[in-house]
């Protein structure tokens, strides 16, 4: 499996990152173990989670995904071969959110316990916290790195301005810098990343690990009419994608898929992997069959004509 550098962290990761927001939600523990086994056997050992996954499920309180991953690593005895990323900052309950020094210190211990590990490879700010000085947040991360509890840090859902200011503070004060950015980015959702963040991240060597690589499943081609919205729990989100532009993108995906003997999901992820400066898109699976599709996407190299076809279809309104 091809490895790519994660910013300047010294950590090399596979070209596809395993998303785990489905663990404890649409995939129970047994299914999650099977999915993780299939990914690991294929060499996809970069796993992204968050402390808040999957608190939105009735009866859950957050931490379910981390706990499942922790039990899986313990049972398999494979922690040393896994590149483990998690996040802090989203609300876990009253008074339990943000990027203050005190909260980060508390939250990291909870994540380490659930993950059953001594160190997190990539600890990410899940979302910006404008109420906490960035110096305080980065200083807290610096303490964790010195203590050996975290190897590198990343940011998620940051604007260009806030990422730029944080990197400037890191350089000015000798604090750890965000080595990765996790933005919303896929063949359909392009403008925010490409207009404000892409050139900056490439220039500053910030790794990019975008989420929603398949636009909540829209780019699999499964949702082509309102009648298809009931095919999954995510179907209700599809109305924002299924417009003239969305249909144009699906048509282009079909065209390229036919040419390569692949399916739309593989092509959509291969397009992301071909994007200059992009480290590894995040994609999740709820079955071993879906894992096979995701693995196959890492073996699909699109030529310039295929990339141009998809670029043209997805550009503009």
Q: Judge contact between 47 and 83, C-beta under 8 A.
A: yes
Looking from the CA of 178 toward its CB, the CA atoms found within 13 Å total: 33
Please give the Cα distance from 252 to 258 (Å, whole number).
10
Please give the Cα distance from 71 to 57 (Å, whole number).
20
Q: What is the CA radius of gyration of the chain?
A: 19
53 in catalytic set: yes
At 233, is the secondary structure helix, strand, or coil?
A: coil
Alpha helices in the chain (DSSP H): 29-41, 64-76, 101-115, 134-146, 160-173, 191-192, 198-204, 244-260, 264-273, 288-297, 304-314
Burial of 311 (0-12, 13-18, 19+ CB in 10 A): middle
* CB neighbour list of residue 252: distance below 8 Å, 6 or more residues apart: 309, 310, 312, 313, 314
- Catalytic residue, chosen from 53, 185, 211, 241, is 53
Q: Judge contact between 92 and 65, C-beta under 8 A.
A: no
Cα-based distances in Å from 129 to 104, 134, 165, 172: 12, 8, 13, 20
Q: Judge contact between 217 and 161, C-beta under 8 A.
A: no
Residue with tokens 């310039």: 304
Q: For the chain, percent helix, then strand, then coil, each to nearest 5?
A: 50, 15, 40
- Catalogue the active-site residues: 53
């Amino acid at each position: 499996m091809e490895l790519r550098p994660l910013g300047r962290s010294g950590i090399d990761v596979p070209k596809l990152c395993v998303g785990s927001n489905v663990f404890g939600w649409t995939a129970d523990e047994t299914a999650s173990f099977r999915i993780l086994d299939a990914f690991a056997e294929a060499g996809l050992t970069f796993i992204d989670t968050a402390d808040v996954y999957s608190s939105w499920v009735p009866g859950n309180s957050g931490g379910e995904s981390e706990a499942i991953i922790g039990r899986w690593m313990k049972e398999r005895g494979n922690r040393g071969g896994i590149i483990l990323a998690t996040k802090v900052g989203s609300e876990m309950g009253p008074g339990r959110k943000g990027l203050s020094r005190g909260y980060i210190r508390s939250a990291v211990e909870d994540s380490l316990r659930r993950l059953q590990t001594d160190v997190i490879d990539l600890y990410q700010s899940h979302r910006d916290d404008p109420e906490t000085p960035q110096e305080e947040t980065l200083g807290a991360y610096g303490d964790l790195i010195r203590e050996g509890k975290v190897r590198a840090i990343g940011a998620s859902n940051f604007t260009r301005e806030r990422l730029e200011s944080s990197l400037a503070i890191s350089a000015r004060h000798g604090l750890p810098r965000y080595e990765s950015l996790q933005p919303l980015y896929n063949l359909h959702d392009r403008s925010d990343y490409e207009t404000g963040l892409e050139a900056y991240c490439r220039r500053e060597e910030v790794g990019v690990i975008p989420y929603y690589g398949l636009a909540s499943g829209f780019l699999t081609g499964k949702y082509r009419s309102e009648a298809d919205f009931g095919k999954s729990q995510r179907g209700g989100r599809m109305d924002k994608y299924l417009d003239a532009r969305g249909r144009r993108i699906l048509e282009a995906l079909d065209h390229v898929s036919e040419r390569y003997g692949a399916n739309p999901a593989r092509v959509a992820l291969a397009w992301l992997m071909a994007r200059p400066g992009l480290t590894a898109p995040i994609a999740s699976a709820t079955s071993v069959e879906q894992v096979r599709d995701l693995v196959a996407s890492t073996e699909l190299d699109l030529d310039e004509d295929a990339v141009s076809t998809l670029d043209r279809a997805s550009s503009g309104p």
